[in-house]
Amino acid sequence: MVPRWLAAVEIVHRLPGRVRLRYVLEAGMPADAAVLESQVAQLPGVLSARVNRRAASVVVTFDPDETDSDGVGAAVARLSPPSGPAPARRPAGNGKTAVAASLATLLGSGLLPPALRLPLSLAGAMPLLRQAIADYRQGGVTSHVLEGMAVAISLARSDHTAANTTTFMLSLGEYMEESIARRSDELLKHLLRPSSDRVWVLRDGVEVLEPAATVAVGDTVIVATGSVIPVDGTVLGGEATVNEAAMTGESASAVKGRGAAVLSGTLVEEGRLAIYAEQVGSRTAAARIADYVEQSLLSKSEAQLEASRMADRLVPLVLKLAGASFLVSGDWRRAASVLQADYSCALKLATPVAFKSAMYGAGQAGILVKGATALERLAQADTFIFDKTGTLTTGMLEVTDSVTFDSSYTPEDLICLAASVEEHYFHPLAMAVVAAAQATHNRHFDHLEVQFIVAHGVASVVDGKRIVVGSRHFIQEDEGIAIDSHLDVIDRLYQDGKTLLFIGFGGRLLGLLALKDTIRESSARTVARLRRLGARHILLLTGDHRDRAAELSGQLGLDGFRAELLPQDKARIIEELSARGARIAFVGDGINDAPALAGAHVGIAMQKGADIARLTADVALLEDEIERVADAKEAANAVMDLIKTNYRATVGLNTAILGAAALGLLSPIATSVLHNGTTIGILLNALRRHSAR
């Protein structure tokens, strides 16, 4: 039977789309308000949730079309408790107030008559002692129980200075540790940029201000100076300077014009853009960041879990050592010193703080990492496998050949003639032709209204003659234009792996434009960096022709390739390599890459990848740059090195303190100062790498 988290849930107040619930925890269940709030917010139909831990209540806003107050209440009542032990909290009171109170007790107790010192010291230590008793009842001997025992021993011996110093240092340590942990969470949340809830949309040629929730894929969104872009899309018109620092970490603003990709959450500093909405609402990059941040704050890596298990295993050892030191020496002070030198705090907190800081740094560099586990696996990856199109290549076609069959038209004329009608068509082929025309003398041919024939091409009239630009099927079968006399040229270009655009003019084939995907300039650098970062094998898997795959593999110096593959073939190959012990990072962007992304040790999706690819992947790139893959690997390696360093420092320093305390070389006060000081230092070291960015 699945245990229940909440013993009772009742509706206190309800309004349309909003309900306030009061809850009672099951005995022994964790009172973790942040996790409860997160789980309630993820329930079907729920828009947001806010938990008040002191009032034991939760306010929920929901979509009335999907659920109602009773449905929300029933769903909350069925929640299962979070997996794993609840993180224990020291009874430091309320942050700064608790530190100030314990400091006042430490400084003031010596000024009081002896008869009043014990009551004051006991009052100051009472929150710590109560928490120690509660921890012992729930989970046996924990680090907090050891600390409570140390203070109790000092109080029993009337060593008020030692007891008050320990209480103060524990309060200060708790406050600093929680501040550092909170700061690491805030670093991640800092990636989010709120967007306006109202958006200008072009409707029938008129700009209309509408709720952001009503914007749909295919709408034309208008964004002007000072506004945050609310959708992911492509610029249809206008020009603007866009600050993308919130999403890519790039401090220099980018000039965006027709055909440029833009991301939600970025700011238009100057200018005005008309944007074709490709991703809206929860599918935008900014919304996905919020999703990833939520996951990263709650998820635990194997390194984090192992550190926590190690800390728990060491608690009984410390207790036994304290007992042994007392039996040997008969000195309660020595036992009290040993009890304070536990490993728990630094081991349990330093690892998640380091991971969160690394994820923040990656986010600032244009890399979204879905949790600490993804970073951990990426650091372990020794084999990198790439898809071809849109990954190692740009995925953007470029005109490579202009072949005219009429001597009165030059190859440049042919490009400009096609571009004159294609410039009205929003399609990768059309954009490539327009770009090629702009690189020539860019002659413009006047024409009548352009007709769009879906999945075929475009048609218009130039100088009284019908012009058609499109696929072979469109030209040959729909328009009835003969191409047989030019089959040698057509077949040669096809064999070169090029995409052909046919131009018919006045009922005859005027010429051909050949287009081809190009290798990214940074692909070779990325491959070289990955080798330096520990990649032993770098392979190419593609559905493309064998000859093109071989050419690309040779140019980039890859270790091998497999071509003409179906999606299931890629997944099968990854499964076979994994069975041989390879730890695979797969980099792809298409719908056909989703099975491979899911089956790899870690999946990395390109910025322009299909939704299913980005959702399946463990790492999603925010900008269309293959070098971010090497950046992600470098960040993963760095954080794992940092965690190992912190782990060694924690074990080494605390073992030294523990040994010195057991030998009677440290007083309880000195042990408390050293232990808490080193813990805070280790936590700051976990945070420092990315907080300075």
Q: What is the CB-side half-sphere exposure of residue 618 using CA atoms within 13 A?
A: 27
Tens digit of each residue's pLDDT (9 = 90 or more) over 336-348: 787 777 666 666 6
Residue 351 CB contacts under 8 Å (≥ 6 apart), including other chains: 301, 303, 304, 307, 643, 646, 647, 686
pLDDT value, residue 155: 72
pLDDT value, residue 83: 52
Q: Mean pLDDT across the stretch 273-299?
A: 67
Tens digit of each residue's pLDDT (9 = 90 or more) over 342-370: 666 666 667 777 777 787 778 777 788 87
Q: Mean pLDDT across the stretch 603-621?
A: 73
> What is the average pLDDT score of the chain?
79
Question: Which of 367, 364, 385, 444 lies closest to 573 in space, CA to CA?
Answer: 385
Rounded to whole angstroms, the Cα distance separating 278 from 236 reads: 12
pLDDT value, residue 692: 38
Strand segments (E) across 382-450? 383-386, 393-404
Rounded to whole angstroms, the Cα distance separating 449 from 319 reads: 87
Q: Mean pLDDT across the stretch 495-521?
A: 89
Is the confidence at residue 508, as pLDDT, over 90?
A: yes
pLDDT value, residue 91: 38
Q: Mean pLDDT across the stretch 424-432?
A: 75
- What does the CA dihedral 267, 271, 276, 280 come to, rounded to 10 degrees? 20
Per DSSP, the three-state class of 475 is helix
pLDDT value, residue 524: 93
Quick one: CATH architecture of 198-227+231-279?
Distorted Sandwich (2.70)
Is the confidence at residue 561, as pLDDT, over 90?
A: yes
Per CATH, domain 6-77 is 3.40.50.800 = no
Pinpoint the alpha helices (H) of 299-427.
302-329, 332-340, 344-364, 372-380, 411-422
pLDDT value, residue 426: 64
Superfamily of domain 365-393+522-633: HAD superfamily/HAD-like (3.40.50.1000)
pLDDT value, residue 307: 59
Active site residue: 135, 387, 589, 624, which one?
A: 387
Catalytic site includes residue 478: no
Tell how strand 465-470 and strand 261-262 pair up.
unpaired
pLDDT value, residue 346: 65
Is residue 225 left, alpha or beta, with left meaning phi > 0 and alpha meaning psi from -120 to 50? beta
Position with higher pLDDT, 234 vs 182 = 234
User: Computed from CA positions of residues 127, 130, 136, 139, in that sequence, does the dihedral angle turn out positive or negative?
Assistant: negative
Report the 10 Å Cβ neighbour count for 32. Answer: 18
Q: Mean pLDDT across the stretch 21-25?
A: 85
By the 10 Å C-beta count (0-12 exposed, 13-18 middle, 19+ buried), 644 is classed as exposed
Which of 185-194, 464-473, 656-665 bottoms out in mean pLDDT, i.e. has the lowest? 185-194
Tell how strand 393-404 and strand 383-386 pair up.
unpaired
Is the confidence at residue 202, as pLDDT, over 80?
A: yes
Q: Residues in the chain, how many?
A: 693
Superfamily of domain 395-518: Calcium-transporting ATPase, cytoplasmic domain N (3.40.1110.10)
Confirm if 382 and 207 have CB atoms less than 8 A apart: no
Confirm if 206 and 220 have CB atoms less than 8 A apart: no
pLDDT value, residue 393: 85
pLDDT value, residue 92: 37
- Percentage of the chain with pLDDT > 70? 77
Per DSSP, the three-state class of 582 is coil
Tens digit of each residue's pLDDT (9 = 90 or more) over 131-159: 778 767 766 665 666 667 767 777 776 76
Write down the domain spans for the chain.
Answer: 6-77, 198-227+231-279, 365-393+522-633, 395-518
Which of 7-16, 454-463, 541-550, 585-594 bottoms out in mean pLDDT, i.e. has the lowest? 585-594
pLDDT value, residue 637: 93
Position with higher pLDDT, 102 vs 565 = 565
Predicted TM-score of the model (pTM): 0.58
pLDDT value, residue 194: 45
Is the confidence at residue 404, as pLDDT, over 90?
A: yes
- Return the structure tokens found at 300: 């635990």
Q: Mean pLDDT across the stretch 517-539?
A: 92
**Helix/strand/coil percent split, the chain, to 5:** 50, 20, 25
pLDDT value, residue 144: 64
Rounded to whole angstroms, the Cα distance separating 343 from 319 reads: 12
Position with higher pLDDT, 397 vs 683 = 397
**What is the residue whose two structure tokens read 């509408």?**
210
Is the confidence at residue 229, as pLDDT, over 90?
A: no
**What is the residue whose two structure tokens read 């002191």?**
54
Q: Mean pLDDT across the stretch 414-439?
A: 84
Residue 5 CB contacts under 8 Å (≥ 6 apart), including other chains: 25, 26, 29, 36, 79, 80, 81, 82
pLDDT value, residue 47: 83
Q: How far is CA 25 from the centre of its chain?
A: 32
pLDDT value, residue 344: 65
Rounded to whole angstroms, the Cα distance separating 213 from 277 reads: 13
First and final C-alpha spacing in the chain: 48
Is the confidence at residue 180, as pLDDT, over 60?
A: no
Is the confidence at residue 185, as pLDDT, over 60?
A: no
Is the confidence at residue 428, as pLDDT, over 80?
A: no
What one-letter code names the amino acid at 397?
L
